[in-house]
Amino acid sequence: MAEGVAQHISPARGFMAEHAHYDDDAGFWERHADRLGGPVCDEGAAAGRVSLRLASRGHEVWAVDTDPEMLEVLVERAAGAGLSHLVHPVLGSMTDPLPVRDAGLVAIPMNTMQLLHSQPDQVTCLSHAAAALRPGGEMIFDLAVPYFEAMQDLVGVILDTGHSVDEASGDLLMHTAVFTSVDAATGEVSMTLMIDRVHGDGATTSVTRDHHLHMYRPDEIPVIAAMAGLEVLEVTGGFNGEALDDDSERHVWRLGRPA
């Protein structure tokens, strides 16, 4: 593939395009928002992948993210969809108090809670959710199941993680990833995601994204939930209620305030 200079794509729009194909949780957040009612707080909202879906169903959504450029794109997309009156962008982190009270749902989609490394930060995040929820409201999040032994064997190996198409430009996006360090004792994992964008003229531009994550073992969640004043309502191994077992790729948690 030829190297070349192509039209600049902002990091936020690039990120949005890179994740547009992800649909593992299609319908999941809508079902729970409809069941619990609003308002909803979407933490780690990015460019609005989940926030806009929920707003399109009539839910008032407070979209929290640390990246102002992501929120600018979210605002633009909400305006284009006629949803500005329902989507409230908030610049903030998962350890900040939530900008809403009496929430029906506090959602942290797409493994985003893995960006919280220390137990104090994790408990702070859950405590703020507990304070924001109304009686009967729920905090829901999904996490990748860590298979540390297999991940350690793959350190340094470039993994083909699939391809997708940027619907806005028609560019082909080739996704690869590599684990750079895996510490099973602490659950800390570093990895690099690489996206090669093949433009219509054959030129290729590349983006790398470095991630340092805390990979949660399932037995960690009840501990931090109890410390934050929340109780586990349900844990499943998928978005359709699958049992959590030795073959699960994710663990999905529903937490609530004790009666």
Domain ranges of the chain: 2-12+147-214, 22-145+217-256
Sign of the Cα torsion 91, 123, 188, 19 reads negative
What is the distance, to the nearest Å, from the Cα of residue 11 to the centroid of all Cα atoms in its chain? 17
pLDDT tens column, 108-159: 999 999 999 999 999 999 999 999 999 999 999 999 999 999 999 999 999 9
Task: Output the CA–CA distances (angstroms, integers) from residue 192 to 72, 139, 178, 189, 259, in the order listed.
Answer: 26, 29, 5, 10, 43
Superfamily for the 22-145+217-256 domain: Vaccinia Virus protein VP39 (3.40.50.150)
List CB contacts of 131: < 8 A, sequence separation 6 or more: 97, 98, 101
Mean pLDDT value of segment 15-23: 67
pLDDT band for position 211 (50/70/90)? very high
Q: What is the pLDDT of residue 14?
A: 67
- 8-state DSSP, 38: S
What is the distance, to the nearest Å, from the Cα of residue 118 to the centroid of all Cα atoms in its chain? 18
pLDDT band for position 90 (50/70/90)? very high
Q: What is the pLDDT of residue 9?
A: 65
CA dihedral 37, 39, 94, 77 (to 10 degrees): 110
Q: What is the pLDDT of residue 19?
A: 64
Q: How far apart are CA 42 and CA 61, in angstroms?
A: 7
pTM for the predicted model, two decimal places: 0.91
Q: What is the pLDDT of residue 17?
A: 61
203-214 and 2-3 strand pairing: parallel
pLDDT tens column, 22-80: 778 989 999 999 999 989 999 999 999 999 999 999 999 999 999 999 999 999 999 99
Q: What is the pLDDT of residue 16?
A: 63
pLDDT band for position 8 (50/70/90)? low
* Site of tokens 């790729």: 249
pLDDT band for position 163 (50/70/90)? confident
Q: How far apart are CA 111 and CA 202, in angstroms?
A: 33
Mean pLDDT across the chain: 92
List CB contacts of 75: < 8 A, sequence separation 6 or more: 84, 87, 89
* Site of tokens 């909400």: 78
pLDDT value at 5 more than 50: no
pLDDT value at 3 more than 50: no
